[in-house]
């Protein structure tokens, strides 16, 4: 079957938009072809800085024939009604059938439409696809009446080797493409997909981004190895550079030795942020005085002029960095704090100076909570409090430095260097550097107690503040990265086995906000909302580990706010429900809870009191009551020691008596006192289970 080739030759498409554009192109192609009745076996999209390409293989030559049956008016209906039906269906009366439907005899028209040729459908379909392609930003340009990410120079569109003309204003459509802008700029004609790929390769264009990425990565390591160095791993930079070149050529330059005493993060950020250079490391993992650049050209001189030009540019960048470094160290961090009052944290949430004050107190409070649960920190708790509080006070000070103003990526990192230069304790400096961490799922999590306290304080303070003013994430929108903040706090807790009450931490943060905003009218609703938000984020975090969301809900519903204890309880619950006893007891729990729930609604009362053992009539009632007495004691003891496996075993011991009760005992008997006592017994089953988890939240049959 024929193949479709569509190439849009454009001005440079921003690298950050390329991958999404290729994905959207394939999605829209599948959707629009399916709507048109043109199924496609395989659709691929490729993107380079100058071109966006769609390839569809095995497209049918035409739509399938369509047959539609339409019922008309009753036989004998008025003439205008019949004529209107015939006209709308495009048939004559002789072409209609008369059928008895059981409700009368009606005219029926069978309308057969031959499928249109694919070549006839594609012009409008592809035009709609291009206009519907979403871009984060777009622009108008003279050749077209529509907006697009960049001006389109020309369009190549072939179906089965024949040109498909698209109505795109003044943009030419044909069978011509171009190669590399500098190395092979002449236009050339192509006859199909295979020929297109071949001619591009001959014209110094690697069409597939995966091929370019692999080629760049291999060349980086080969060039570094030539001088016994290796490359600092940077997947994001590799993806960005892949989107900047069509024919990558890796070259090595040198860093002027006079700048090598600058902090390594300053060097790598200056190279990466402004110049897109890759850093090199020596055998000890230290930054080497070399950098790697990826050019989009093959130079006649082997790249000497390109390298020399980039070295000059880097020298100027690093000279600026040297000036910032020397100037910033003349002002102590504490002296920078008043300038934070000139920086708004967010409208309605005060300044960064206000945030620094909140972090001072909240970090100290969290440090106290950590110390209370850590015997090894008990003796040094006052020191830990002081360390966390001071780090929280200084954490945002580097925002007013010239270096962070030039390189925002160095927030916190520069604060550490300046703190160390001023003689601050190592734990204070480290906490300043790490207080933004973890920034993402692959980012390392702080482990030093003071660093944990300050990082937690920063994230909790932000969450509570934005929830106070109602700026919560909605759908896919999360402009203030609150989901990331919550996931970061969850990782800090779980990866450090941090035993603290999340509710208590939130209360402390809310109290700080009440003082900061000078408002006593802020109620406790933000605490409830943030706790729920944490519950949802915890489900997301644990989902990748195969943990069921309903089990997390079942434990969270108990008001559990110690996330370490919560995850241990969830793990024990999952193991219990995976056994035969657990599965059967879940069914029994639901049966007991359903019966009690129905009767409570009918009677208008709650059966929550203890059943009267003196009113037990049958042996099965007495046996279940006695077993519940023992189980409740065992569950209470197990929960006290956080031995959740033992708590589950105590529940498992109820199975025999519960099964016997439901087999032999009728609950809804005529004797109302006996009935009420038996309902109380069932309610006690519910209550005993619900001490371990809210089993009503568990979904499905185990």
Concatenated DSSP letters for 463-484?
HHHHHHTT---BTTB-TT-HHH
Length of the chain: 702
pLDDT digits (tens, 9 = 90+) for 171-226: 989 999 999 999 999 999 999 999 999 999 999 999 999 999 999 999 999 999 99
**78 token code pair:** 């008025």
Could you tell me what percent of the chain has a pLDDT over 70?
100
Q: How many CA atoms lie within 13 A of 67 on its CB side?
A: 2
3-state SS, residue 6: strand
Query: Average per-residue pLDDT in the chain?
Result: 92
Concatenated DSSP letters for 337-349?
GGGGGGSBSSTTS
Of residues 11, 63, 49, 83, the one with CA closest to residue 242? 49
**697 token code pair:** 């939240």
Backbone angles phi, psi at 574, to 5 degrees: -65, -40
677 against 433, higher pLDDT? 433
pLDDT digits (tens, 9 = 90+) for 40-67: 778 999 999 999 999 998 888 888 777 7
Of residues 463, 454, 444, the one with CA closest to residue 506? 463
Q: What does the H/E/C string look like for 191-254?
A: CCHHHHHHHHHHCCCCCCHHHHHHHHHHHHHHHHHCCCCEECCCHHHHHHHHCCCCCCEEEEEE
CA distance 101 to 115: 30
The pLDDT score that the predictor gives to residue 700 is 65
What pLDDT band is residue 241 in, cutting at 50, 70 and 90?
A: very high
The pLDDT score that the predictor gives to residue 702 is 39
The pLDDT score that the predictor gives to residue 40 is 76
pTM equals 0.81
CA distance 46 to 235: 20
**Residue 602: pLDDT above 50?**
yes
**417 token code pair:** 């260097």
| CATH number given to 346-546 | 1.10.3210
Q: In Å, how far from its chain's centre is CA 672?
A: 56
Concatenated DSSP letters for 163-183?
E-----TT-EEESEEE--TTT
Backbone angles phi, psi at 428, to 5 degrees: -70, -45
Backbone angles phi, psi at 132, to 5 degrees: -85, -10
The pLDDT score that the predictor gives to residue 38 is 86
3-state SS, residue 586: helix
The pLDDT score that the predictor gives to residue 430 is 97
Domain chopping of the chain, boundaries: 4-62+118-202, 66-113, 209-328, 346-546, 573-697
Cis peptide before 618 (omega within 30 of 0): no
pLDDT digits (tens, 9 = 90+) for 333-359: 999 999 999 999 999 999 999 999 999
**Residue 520: pLDDT above 80?**
no
**Residue 683: pLDDT above 80?**
yes
CA distance 306 to 253: 9
Average pLDDT in the 393-421 region? 96
The pLDDT score that the predictor gives to residue 671 is 87
CA distance 291 to 301: 19
3-state SS, residue 188: strand
pLDDT digits (tens, 9 = 90+) for 2-16: 899 999 999 999 999
**Residue 564: pLDDT above 80?**
yes
Among 75-79, 113-117, 214-218, which stretch is predicted with the lowest mean pLDDT?
113-117
Q: Which CATH class is domain 573-697?
A: mainly alpha
pLDDT digits (tens, 9 = 90+) for 243-270: 999 999 999 999 999 999 999 999 999 9
**Residue 233: pLDDT above 60?**
yes
């Amino acid at each position: 079957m024929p193949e479709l080739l569509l190439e849009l030759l454009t001005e440079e498409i921003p690298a950050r938009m390329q991958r999404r554009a290729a994905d959207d192109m394939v999605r829209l192609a599948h959707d629009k072809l399916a709507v048109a009745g043109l199924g496609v076996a395989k659709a691929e999209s490729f993107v380079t800085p100058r071109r966006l390409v769609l390839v569809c293989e095995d497209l049918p030559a035409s739509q399938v024939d369509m047959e539609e049956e339409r019922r008309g008016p009753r036989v004998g209906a008025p003439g205008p009604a019949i004529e209107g039906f015939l006209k709308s269906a495009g048939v004559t009366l002789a072409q209609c059938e008369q059928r008895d439907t059981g409700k009368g005899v009606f005219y029926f028209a069978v309308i057969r439409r031959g499928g249109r040729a694919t070549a006839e459908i594609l012009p409008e379909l592809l035009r709609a696809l291009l206009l519907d392609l979403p871009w984060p930003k777009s622009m108008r340009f003279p050749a077209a009446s529509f907006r697009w990410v960049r001006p389109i120079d020309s369009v190549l569109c072939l179906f089965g080797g024949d040109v498909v003309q698209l109505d795109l204003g003044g943009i030419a459509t044909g069978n011509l493409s171009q190669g590399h802008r500098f190395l092979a700029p002449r236009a050339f004609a192509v006859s199909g997909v295979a020929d297109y790929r071949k001619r591009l390769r001959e014209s110094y264009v690697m069409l597939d981004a995966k091929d370019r990425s692999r080629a760049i990565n291999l060349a980086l390591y080969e060039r570094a190895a030539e001088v016994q160095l290796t490359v600092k791993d940077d997947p994001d930079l590799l993806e960005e550079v892949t989107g900047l070149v069509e024919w990558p050529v890796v070259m090595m330059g040198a860093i002027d030795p006079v700048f090598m005493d600058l902090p390594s993060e300053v060097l790598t950020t200056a190279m990466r942020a402004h110049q897109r250079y890759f850093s090199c490391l020596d055998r000890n993992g230290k930054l080497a005085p070399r950098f790697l650049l990826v050019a989009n050209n093959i130079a006649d001189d082997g790249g000497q002029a390109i390298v020399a030009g980039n070295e000059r540019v880097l020298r100027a960048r690093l000279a600026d960095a040297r000036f910032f470094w020397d100037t910033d160290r003349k002002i102590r961090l504490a002296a920078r704090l008043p300038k934070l009052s000139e920086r708004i944290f967010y409208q309605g949430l005060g300044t960064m100076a206000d945030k620094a004050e909140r972090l001072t107190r909240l970090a100290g409070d969290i440090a106290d909570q950590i110390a209370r649960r850590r015997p090894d920190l008990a003796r040094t708790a006052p020191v830990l409090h002081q360390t966390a509080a001071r780090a929280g006070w200084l954490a945002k000070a580097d925002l007013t430095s010239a270096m962070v103003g030039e390189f925002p990526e160095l927030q916190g990192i520069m604060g550490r260097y300046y703190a160390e230069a001023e003689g601050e304790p190592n734990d204070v400096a480290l906490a300043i550097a790490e207080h933004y961490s973890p920034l993402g799922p692959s980012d390392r999590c702080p482990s030093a107690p003071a660093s944990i306290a300050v990082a937690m304080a920063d994230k909790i303070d932000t969450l509570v503040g934005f929830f106070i003013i109602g700026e919560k994430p909605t759908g896919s929108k999360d402009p203030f990265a609150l989901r990331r903040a919550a996931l970061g706090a969850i990782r800090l807790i779980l990866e450090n086995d941090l035993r603290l009450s999340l509710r208590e931490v939130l209360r402390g943060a809310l109290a700080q906000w009440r003082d900061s905003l000078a408002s006593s009218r802020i109620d406790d609703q933000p605490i409830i909302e943030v706790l729920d938000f944490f519950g949802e984020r915890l489900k997301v975090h644990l989902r990748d580990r195969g943990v069921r969301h309903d089990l997390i809900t079942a434990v969270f519903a108990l008001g559990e706010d110690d996330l370490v204890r919560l995850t241990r309880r969830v793990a024990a619950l999952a193991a219990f429900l995976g056994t035969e006893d657990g599965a059967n007891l879940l069914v029994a729990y639901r049966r007991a809870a359903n019966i009690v729930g129905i009767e409570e609604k009918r009677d208008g009362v709650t059966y929550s009191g203890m059943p009267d053992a003196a009113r037990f009539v049958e042996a099965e009632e007495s046996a279940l009551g006695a077993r519940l007495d023992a189980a409740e004691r065992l569950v209470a003891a197990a929960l006290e020691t956080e031995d959740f496996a033992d708590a589950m075993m105590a529940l498992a011991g109820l199975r025999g008596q519960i099964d016997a009760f439901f087999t032999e005992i009728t609950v809804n008997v005529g004797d109302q006192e006996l009935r009420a006592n038996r309902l109380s017994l069932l309610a006690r089953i519910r209550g005993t289970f619900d001490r371990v988890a809210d089993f009503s939240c568990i979904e499905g049959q185990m």
